[in-house]
Structures are given as C-alpha cells and as structure tokens.
Amino acid sequence: MRLLKKKKIVNEDYRIDFFTMFLSSAAFTGYMPFASGTFGSAFALIFLLIPGFSNPVVLGTLSLIFFFAGIITSERMMFRYGDDPSVVVIDEVVGMWVTLLITVLFLKDFNITAVIISFFAFRFFDIAKIWPAKYFDKIKSGFGIMFDDVVAGIYGGILTVIIMKLINEYIK
C-alpha cells in the first residue's frame, strides 16, 4: 500500500462538472496527495459540529441521500480516473456516517471518546476490507465504490459500540 498516491487519469478528454467533482471528492479532500480516504473520513466528522446532526433521523437520512448521490457521482468520476478513483472519498464520508449512526443508535452516552473510536474503527475496517466489503470492493461501479464502505461502516459501528460498552462497564 502506497501512502503517496498519484492521481491517475485514464481519459483526459472526459470533463467532470463542478458539482460531481465537489461532492465525490468531499469538498476536494479527495485531492489530498496522501491518505485521501483518511482525510475524507475526518471531513465526515466535521458535520458533528452542526447542531442536531447526530440525531439518528438526520444522520440516517443524509447517509442515504449521499449514498445514492455518491453512486451517481462516483460513476462519473470513473470515466476520467478509472476504477475506484482515489479522488473519490464520498464513500468514506458515508461509511463514517454509518459508523456514527450505529454508535448513536446503540449508545446512551455519545461523546468525543465514541467519536474517536468510531473514526479509528471505521478506518481499520475500510482498509482491512473484511468480507463482504472485499466482495463489493471488487465490483467496478459506483455501487461497489460506495457499498464496501457502508459494510466497513457497519463493522466500525459494531466495534465502537462494543468498545464503548466495555469502557463504560469496566473503566467508569
């Protein structure tokens, strides 16, 4: 795994509109020269600063909307950047939100510790690609790009809830 990724362009003639580029790259965080997925995941956490964002209805609704928008914009980005382009990080945003959604749903005490654990749990599962995430990662489509991160988000949420329950049981 290379830390510094060169953004490959497979079709220089294919033009991408601003909205597609902005959304799929999560406000251009996908264009970071290294660890673009990590930056995309961190970008997802910024939304927690918006009052009410951690409400499960809000988080779930936005996750669904951005999941489908991510499928469409990721497909468009593939025409220029090839399969699973590194500039596309909307999948990390949605995956991180799925992790947070599960955490919020199953924990009474949603706090900064839970957010930090959620971030590292999601990043671990996003990188590890444990089945069925690996299966979906091999699907070369917008759906494949998005859904492997949803699976990682589910795993990350479950692990966060387990860790937080252990912390609350044995440390507090």
Residue 50 lies in a domain: yes
Least confident range of 16-20, 71-75, 83-87, 122-126? 83-87
- 65-85: average pLDDT: 87
Model-level pTM? 0.88
Residue 1 lies in a domain: no
Q: Can you tell me which residue has the tokens 């033009």?
A: 15
* Spatial distance between the Cα atoms of 35 and 153, rounded to a whole number of angstroms: 18
CA proximity to 25, closest of 99, 97, 85, 67? 85
* Spatial distance between the Cα atoms of 163 and 14, rounded to a whole number of angstroms: 46
* Spatial distance between the Cα atoms of 169 and 42, rounded to a whole number of angstroms: 28
CA proximity to 87, closest of 98, 74, 69? 74
Residue 31 lies in a domain: yes
Summarize pLDDT for 111-147 with one digit per residue, the tens. Answer: 999 999 999 999 999 988 899 978 888 888 889 889 9
Domain of residue 42 covers 18-170
Q: How many domains does the chain have?
A: 1
Residue 110 lies in a domain: yes
Residue 7 lies in a domain: no
